[in-house]
Structure formats: structure tokens, C-alpha cells
Amino acid sequence: MSTNPLSNFFRQPAIHLKLPSGGKYWPDGALDLPITGEIPVYPMTTKDEITLRTPDALLNGAGVVDLIHSCCPNVSDAWNMPSIDVDATIIAIRIASYGQNMDFENRCPHCNEDNTHAIDLTAILDNIKTPDFQTPVKHNGLTFKLKPQSYFSINATNKQNFEEQQLLRNANDLEDEEEKLRVYTEQLQRIIVLSIKLVTDCTDCIITPDGIKVTDPDHIKEFYERAESRLVNLIRDHISAIVKDSAIPDIGVTCGSCDKEYSINLTFDYASFFGKGF
């Protein structure tokens, strides 16, 4: 095939992104991190936009993964990217595709007036904190080294949570009390499994007092299943504190009607997040 004379006019990187993880927690071969520590981010193609309009692709996570692979060619395995890098990457792709400003529709909690505020996504991207997964947790002689979940893991958890909510809503409509109790009991067991899965996925290793480093996920999972609840809650609370500390802070805005200040939260419903640019 001959060289396309239009090849010099193909899309080019619009911005360069420094990942919140700094390239840590990525499995070997999943990321080609340049020496600068920043990855190039390309604008979306028409195919990318159409993918983001497909609900099933967004629900199962494949649409987000395909988008990241398309716009961030240095990422070869977005399924296994640390979850702490996902939102920053999505914001960077939004900026590269449609510019740094984005209108957010919201309602004033004081007067219930609908407002639209222009948000500078670049400022938000620059202020994303690097989560502190480096500080270990110590308990009864054991040392727990933690890590962020992979996107695959957190997407699977979100899907299961969504399905659990659907089951709960259906259970509420059941007239048979025995059947309703059975559904609730099964759901409780699944919630317990999800809780153990969270701490297991976020545990890089557990080091015993005599220096044995346990990295096998099955061994770690079995330990959490048999450990006292106080320990599991300690690890889970520590993970939650890390995530909360590194979360994108609420944005202060002023109502155009009553002139009072309030805060809005930048949420990541990817379909609507990118839909503003269509």
C-alpha cells in the first residue's frame, strides 16, 4: 500500500499527562512511560465518540478501555492500569478532544435554581493528588503493603454493585416473605465476598514478623477470610481514607440567581462527561 499523502495531517498529541501513580503499580508491559514521566494524549476519533454512546460498552468497561488505548498509545493494557490513574486519563482525553473548559449543569441548594458553570478541567487535573499507598499498615506484628485496585477489578466491583442494587429493588417487590429472606441472605453473603475482594485486591503483600513476604492473592484472600473483623475493617478504613484524601475536591461556585455560594462535585458518568462535547 502506498504512503497516504495525508498522513502528516493525522491527529497529533494535544497534551501530555503526568499520571498520578507516577507509573507505579502498573504490571510489566502495560505502560510505556517516556523518560519525561508524561504520556502523550491524543484527541478522540469519530469511532471513539460512537463507542462512548454505546451503553453496554460503558457498563462493561470495554468502551473506556478502548478509548484509553486509542487516545493514549503508550498504554497497552488499560484493564490493568491502576484505578488512581483512570479519572486523570479520562479528564486529559476530554481536554485533548474538546478543550479545557466544560459546562456543568447543577441546581442551587439554596433556591433550587438551575445553573450552568464553566469548569476549568486543566486546573482540576493539575490539582489531583498522588494517593499515599507507600505507608504500610502494621498490626499485631504483621506489615501490610497496599496498592490501588486495577481498573479491571474496580469495574468488576462496580458492575456487581449495580447488579446487587437491581436484585435488592426486585426483592422489595416480592410478596413471599420466605423468598424475600432468602434473597436478602444471599445478598448479604455477596456483600461479604465483595468486602474481602476489595481488601485483597488492594493488598500488594503481607510481611510476617519473621520476614516472610506473602504475595499470593489466594493466600491473602484466605487470611482475610479467617482474620478477625477488626483487622479487616482497619485495612478497609485505611484504603477508604487514602481514596478520600486523593479524591477530586468539590468545586465552589456562586448561584447566578440568589448569589449564594455552594459546592458541586465532579462526577464521572463517562457518557455524560464526554457527551457535553458532542
Q: Are residues 82 and 182 in the same domain?
A: no
Q: Given this model, what pLDDT does residue 35 score?
A: 93
Query: Are β-strands 101-107 and 38-41 bridged in parallel, bridged antiparallel, or unpaired?
Result: unpaired
DSSP string, 13-54: --EEEE-TTTTTTPPTTSB---TTSEEEEPPPPHHHHHHHT-
Do 44 and 77 belong to one domain? Answer: yes
pLDDT exceeds cutoff 80 at 274: no
Both 110 and 154 in a single domain? no
Domain assignment present for residue 160? The answer is: yes
Residue 77 lies in a domain: yes
H/E element, 112: none
Residue 225, domain member (yes or no): yes
Judgement on whether residues 107 and 143 belong to the same structural domain of the protein: no
Asked if residue 251 is part of any domain, the answer here is no
Q: CB within 8 A of 40, min separation 6: which ones?
A: 13, 15, 16, 34, 72, 73, 74
Instruction: Answer yes or no: do 79 and 28 share one domain.
Output: yes
Residues 17, 117 share a domain: yes
Question: Given this model, what pLDDT does residue 276 score?
Answer: 46
67 with 166, same domain? Answer: no
Say if residue 228 is in the same domain as residue 179. yes
The whole-number average pLDDT for the span 174-193 is 73
Q: Can you tell me the distance from the alpha carbon of 14 to that of 8, in angstroms, rounded to the nearest whole number?
A: 15
77 and 125, same domain (yes or no): yes
CA distance readout (Å), 103 to 44, 119, 276: 19, 6, 7
Average pLDDT over residues 78-102: 93
222 and 262 together in one domain: no
Q: What is the pLDDT of residues 101-158, one digit of tens each?
A: 988 888 999 999 999 988 899 988 988 888 889 999 999 999 999 999 999 988 887 7
The pLDDT of 147-171, averaged and rounded, is 78
pLDDT of residue 172: 67
Is 209 inside a domain boundary?
yes
Single out the residue of 144, 23, 10 nearest to residue 85, CA to CA: 23
Q: Are both 105 and 214 inside the same structural domain?
A: no
Evaluate if residue 260 carries a pLDDT over 60: yes
Asked whether residue 2 is assigned to any structural domain, the reply reads no
pLDDT tier at 194, thresholds 50, 70, 90: confident
Does 54 reside within a domain? yes
Number of domains observed in the structure of the chain: 2
Least confident of 7-16, 47-56, 74-83, 116-125: 47-56
Range of the domain at 211: 137-245
Q: How far apart are CA 43 and CA 14, in angstroms?
A: 7
84 and 143 part of one domain? no
Give the CA angle between residues 29, 23, 16 to the nearest 5°.
Answer: 105
